[in-house]
Each structure stands twice: as C-alpha cells, then as structure tokens.
Structure 1
C-alpha cells in the first residue's frame, strides 16, 4: 500500500497528474523527501504551494522524531487556518499573530475554530524568511534584459538561487527551533496535530527587497 502511495505522489509531483492534496501527508517524511520534486529549486514566480506546505509539515516531523517525540498528524482544519493567515500576511503586508483586518480571523484560536472545534488547545508559529540562498549580505541589481532585479552575494557577486523545496522547509524549521517560543510549540507533546502553510511574496524579482515567504504552523491538541 505504501508503495502505491509513493508512486501516486510521484505522478502528482513530477508529472502533474491531479491527486487530492492529502496524499502528500499519507507517507512518512523520509519517503516524502525521497520524491524527485523535493530537490527541485522553488520557482519563486510559480511555486508548487501545496508541495511546499507539505514539505514544511514533514520537516517538522523530522525534528520531532529526532528528539524522540511522536510525529504530528495532519489536520485539514489546521491547514486551512494556517493557509488563510499566511496568505493574509503576505498580501496585506503585515507580520503578526493578530490579523488586524478581519475580526473573525483576529487570533489563531478564532482562525482555527472557523474550520474545526475539535481541539482543546491551539498554538501557532509564524515566520518570514527569504527564499534565496545567500551569504550574510546580498546586492540587488536591475537586469535591463529581463526587466527585473537579480540578487548576488556581496562576497563573490555570484547569483543567489532559490532553495529547493526540501532545503527551504528544513531551513524554516531550523529557524523556529533556534527560537525558544517556537521550539516550545514544536516540541510540545500535548500538540499532536499540525497544519503548515508557506505563501511566497508576489512579484519576487520586481522589488529591490529580497523575495521571501510568510509561514504559519497551527498546532492542535485534543487533551
């Protein structure tokens, strides 16, 4: 059965055959990251959002298992809550657990309860990280031929390329693990369900600011 699921995921991620997005969550993290798409560079102007969301979920489970904790289970309500807040942050251009534009989505608790009321406890991590691999400093340079900015490492003037899906998911989780409040949520055994979303900045090469993603994790515990 697991072999069939992996084959189906390959068809969807590599050949574009349509499957329900939940299939991405039906395999273990090691099998998910073995998919060829995991090692593709993220196309910042046209990312596979569903795949990136699932990659962040599986990277979260990698670190859970590393520390001897049970992996998270996927919950569609938590996923929809995280997706909505990540989308709001990137298009409304704010970065906060509080959504100042919608009273119905003001807090993480309200956002989750729009989709599910099964959880007795809810937590949230947010993040905002650039989507290009770079050194400490970058230079933005306007490319007249392509009519867009390109970003170069200051140290060697080499072009900064996007992360792969797997690299970016693991990079983001690494940043959260380095922050005590975010790490606490990830390592909390009372949280057993998770939904993750990453929404990339629009028009990534038309602004002098480096392209980035707004990310959200919503955690749920039934006890």
Structure 2
C-alpha cells in the first residue's frame, strides 16, 4: 500500500471512529444520577445538552438544578421517558421555597398538574384543623405554638371556626407531587415539553442533536413498533 494511501486511510479511521459527542462522551454520573441529553453538567461541552438544561454536581454526589429566580434544588430523579424531574429543597422544606415564590421564568420547566392551595397559620388551639378533609399539616413551617396547614382552595367551605383560629398566609399553585405529599421534604416534580424525546425514549433510542449546529433533535438507534 502506497504511503499516501496509508495516510489517507489513517485519517479516514480517525474521523469515522471519532465518538459522537452526544452518544458516547456526554452521559455521566453525578452520584447515582445518570446525566444525559437533554441535560448536561455545566462542566461539559455545550452540545452535550439542550439549552437551559444545565446541572451542576455538588461534591461529585448530588446533581443540582439552579432556577434563575428561585435558587438551587437537589435532583432526586430524572425520568427521561415521561420528561419529569423530581427535585427537593436542600433544607427539606419544599413548601417554604414555594411560598417564597417559585419562579420558573427563563427555564424550560412547568409545574406538573398544578393545583391551587391556600396556606393558613393556625394557633396551637386549632388542633382539629389538620384533621379537616384534604388539609395538609406543613411540619417544617410549624412551631411549638402554631401550625401551618395547606388546604385546596376549592375546598374552603370549612367551618367558621377556621377564620377565628387561623390567618391566611397565601394562595399558591402546587405541583401534583406536593399537593399529594406524605412528607413535604419529599420535594416536587417539574416537567418539560421541549425537546420532545418521549417517542425516542419509549423505543429505547438515544435522543440527540441532528447536527453540529441548531437545536433540531433526532433519535439514534432504538426499535420500531
């Protein structure tokens, strides 16, 4: 084989065997959480993830989602098939973060099936309040002499004693996961619609950018129906 042919063949192999940025280089673990498209760690190349899906990895153990106007949340789990991300407050009081104002502006995320809740601050004498239908005791916001409860806004056909024992704090939208919590420290779930990788994920494919530029996505591999 001529020298020029050997050089050409070597260059050809170098480019054809170069791993795809999205498929082979980008998936990475942060603790036990697999980070892959559309997410990426902020230390990775920009094309590893879709715009505004940046995460950080704290102490190589916890993935952190930072919302521009609401601060950082610990990532509990990412469901790539249903396009949901479960996050929690690092201080284990997600309702406090909601009351402080959960602002999703500038992010690709929405609340999952939001429901309006009204929060009340009740005196210690109102021991019956948490027993009312669908009332949620918020232990991380309550104290020795008072209780904070959240009640579905559409269910505020409650006894008149509520108005004398409790003062209204705020009306807020809660994601489904918070309105059905067993422990407020469990966090809540956000969802995203774009990029739409649901069909690709359901077919065990790899969702990735179609080209080296632009934001069009496609599906590599997987199986057909």
Q: TM-score range by the shorter chain?
A: under 0.3
TM-score with structure 2 length normalisation?
0.22
Structure 1 or 2: more helix by fraction: 1
Structure 1 or 2: more strand by fraction: 2
Question: Structure with the greater relative contact order (CA < 8 A, sep ≥ 6): 1 or 2?
Answer: 1
TM-score with structure 1 length normalisation?
0.22
